[in-house]
Chains A and B, each alone.
Chain A
Amino acid sequence: MGINMKKFKLFYNFDSEEQFLSDMSQKGYRLKKAKFPGLYTFERAEPCTLPYRIDYRTFKDQASFEAYITLFEDAGWKHVCGTHSSGSQYFLPMTNARQAEDIFSEPESKRIRYKKLGTHCLVYSILMVSYTILLIPEEWKLTDPFRSLYLTNGLWEMETDLFWRVFLFETPFVILRTAPLLFFVFMAVLYGTRYVQAEKYYKSNR
């Protein structure tokens, strides 16, 4: 108890994510936190197979979120993870009797999760691309994307010995300057991929 384990894993499919969480519970790790887009925190627990169910929703306020959780509780599902803005909502059945049942009784309502997830990811992806564009350094030129990041005058014309010394000296600064940019490029790609995948699942389940 009290020992947490973090895991980073990306899922494009709710069914495989449910399976993953169930497998983890079998190994004695119970889901404690899940942070979009794929950071999971587990805590040590007695190994047992837990049938996780995932819904995908965001709520306009805390009151709506609580009303949502109450409805699920009334129906026998315990909300174990998620916040009003987190998107993914994780549920476990409260009694063994309902273990085989699902939180969805109609395929369309299951499919609509991918639509919501897709929209969410598209918005984030556009946001990340905007940040990337804002963070492009002034000196950067599209025609020479790598060399233009180095600010030392005449660096690329220097003799080998001097060149390497100056080059290696300046490189950490270049990395520092471009790190935020690279982070947002990475995030834009991550959200973009999730958007494409979500759209794919939304269409293929029709």
Chain B
Amino acid sequence: MNLNKMLPLTETTFYVMLALMEPLHGYAIMQEVEVLSEGKVKIAAGTLYGAIENLTKQKLIHEVKSENKRRRIYVLNENGKDLLGLELERLKYLTDIAERKMADRDKPLSKQNGTV
């Protein structure tokens, strides 16, 4: 499976995968995402169900046994962890080059300010 082809992840997918580092059922994922994003991201039920379905189909998460059949519990598998790692590297790389570029742009400005 070529994981790189699955990048970039959507914001929803990213948060759901991050939440599924530990086994959780549907509504618990929604709550965990809200906590992780400090209330900024709320995933709605329909969108979450679709995301779980896609991640299962792509074999990035799998269902784990639970006593409550109506509340299915999912967890990230090895492929999922690898993909999340790749996405993290990609995002880090992006923020690194962006920060460098911003810093370069700010430098001459501060020098100018210094000479004036």
Shortest distance between the CB of A193 and any CB in chain B (Å): 26
Give CA–CA (A66, B49) in the complex, Å: 13
Asked if A3 is an interface residue, CB under 8 A from chain B, the answer is no
Other-chain contact of B45, A66, A67, A103, A108 (Cβ < 8 Å) = A103
CB distance from A112 to the nearest CB of B (A): 6
What are the interface flags for B39-52 relative to A under an 8 Å C-beta threshold, 1 for contact and 0 otherwise?
00011111111110
Contact B50 A75 (CB under 8 A): no
Identity of the chain B residue whose Cβ is nearest the Cβ of A69 in the assembled complex: B70
Closest to A75 in B: B45
Indicate whether B17 reaches chain A with its CB closer than 8 angstroms.
Answer: no
Which of A71, A102, A112 neighbours the largest number of chain B CB atoms within 10 Å of its CB?
Answer: A71
Closest Cβ neighbor of A53 among chain B residues: B46
CB–CB B26/A109 < 8 A: no
Residues of B within 8 A of A106 (CB): 10-12, 43, 47
- In the bound complex, residues from chain B placing their C-beta under 8 Å from that of A66 are 69-70
In the complex, A183 has a CB within 8 A of chain B: no
Instruction: Map CB proximity to A onto B1-45 as digits: 1 under 8 Å, 0 otherwise.
Output: 000000000111000000000000111001000000000001111
Cβ-defined contact, A63 with B69, below 8 A: yes
> Restricting to A58-78, which residues have a CB under 8 Å from any CB of B?
63, 66-68, 70-72, 74-75, 77
Q: Is the CB of B70 within 8 A of A109?
A: no
Q: Which residues of B contact A101 (CB under 8 A)?
A: 44
Instruction: For the complex, give the distance between the alpha carbons of A105 and B33 in Å.
Output: 13
Q: Is A11 part of the contact surface with B, judged by Cβ < 8 Å? A: no
Query: CA separation between A101 and B45, bound complex, in Å?
Result: 11
State whether B44 touches A103 (Cβ < 8 A).
yes
Question: A43 on the interface (CB 8 Å rule)?
Answer: no
The verdict on B71 contacting chain A, using a C-beta distance below 8 Å, is yes
Interface residue A104 (Cβ < 8 Å from any Cβ of B): yes
Question: Is B72 at the interface (CB under 8 A from chain A)?
Answer: yes
Please state if A105 and B12 are interface contacts (CB–CB under 8 Å): yes
Q: Would B27 and A75 count as touching, CB distance under 8 A?
A: yes
| Set of chain A residues within 8 Å of B10, measured between Cβ atoms | 106, 108
- Contact residues in B for A105 (Cβ distance below 8 Å): 12, 42-44, 47
